[in-house]
Structure 1
Amino acid sequence: MKSTQIEYSAMSRGYYKSIVVQNKSVSVVKERNAEVAKSNIDDAKWNKIVDAYSKVNLESLSSLKAPTDKRTHDGAAIGNLKITKDGKTYETAGFDNGFPPKEIEQLVNLLVDFAKE
């Protein structure tokens, strides 16, 4: 996973969050134009991320169906998962923040945990 970058973002008119994981480090931005908070990821958490990532089918990422659609009427921020591996980018369609497609739920939840700390 050395050449892989995983980014989760969620945004709406009044909400912004960006979490980027790469090489056992994480960068978190909790609001627009805010400072980036960087930290290292401990081995236990990193192993969970690697395990969750290994279950994601990159080729089908763009076709995953969102389980809810509150984002269509400003009922939820728009969530997005983007994975860049070996220079190629794979990205989901937008989904409701907090309600990712089940195929990526474990990975997204691990990333969102960094913004809670």
Structure 2
Amino acid sequence: MRIVSFLLLIMVIGTGCSSQKKTDMANTTIEYSAMSRGFHKKITVQNQSVWVESERGQDAVESKIDAGKWNQIVAEFEKVNLETISTLKAPTEKRFYDGAAIANLKIIQNQKTYETTSFDNGFPPKEIEKLVNLLTGFIEE
């Protein structure tokens, strides 16, 4: 009987924590930017909406994110360790010689900002690769 009670308690605590993180997504902004000479892209995701800015000086175009894609973004976001995001290492260094645009991922959650060091557009650190690929998919749509 104690084991069953203990297992139920663990399940309640575990589901409470995961639902709290999903609730926090309403107060979370994810920004991906990539730029170089003649190239500028910025994608901002917040509360099931996305804003895509394709050129410098142009207004961002807003779109709603469908539930399926939003769930994918939330699932990948939950895998990201915000405290260590600033220490992620870029797998390539093409941005140093204009071989790739300079990219950056910034997450603002509960008025605290978490930001990666710069990395090559198209070659994000593996820890955030799936999330970045979901975000950059909005440019192609």
Q: CA deviation at 1:35?
A: 2.4
Looking at CA atoms only, which structure, 1 or 2, has the larger radius of gyration?
Answer: 2
Structure 2 CA distance for aligned equivalents of residues 103 and 60 of structure 1: 10
Alignment of 1:1-117 (within 5 A): 1-117=25-141
Q: Mind listing any 5+ residue stretches in structure 1 that lack a counterpart?
A: none
Secondary structure at 2:26 match in 1: coil
Cα offsets for 1:42-69 (capped at 9, x unmatched): 0000000000000000010100000000
Q: CA deviation at 1:112?
A: 0.2
Q: How many residues align?
A: 117
Given residue 29 of structure 2, which amino acid in structure 1 is its aligned partner? Q
Q: CA deviation at 1:12?
A: 0.5
- Tell me the TM-score normalized by structure 2: 0.82
Structure 2 CA distance for aligned equivalents of residues 103 and 58 of structure 1: 11
Structure with bigger helix share is 2
Secondary structure at 2:58 match in 1: coil
Q: CA deviation at 1:36?
A: 1.1
Given residue 72 of structure 1, which amino acid in structure 2 is its aligned partner? F
Q: CA deviation at 1:34?
A: 1.5
- Tell me the TM-score normalized by structure 1: 0.99
Secondary structure at 1:76 match in 2: coil
Cα offsets for 1:54-88 (capped at 9, x unmatched): 00000101000000000011110001000000000
Q: Mind listing any 5+ residue stretches in structure 2 that lack a counterpart?
A: 1-24
Structure with bigger strand share is 1
Q: Which runs of 4+ in 1 moved over 6 A?
A: none
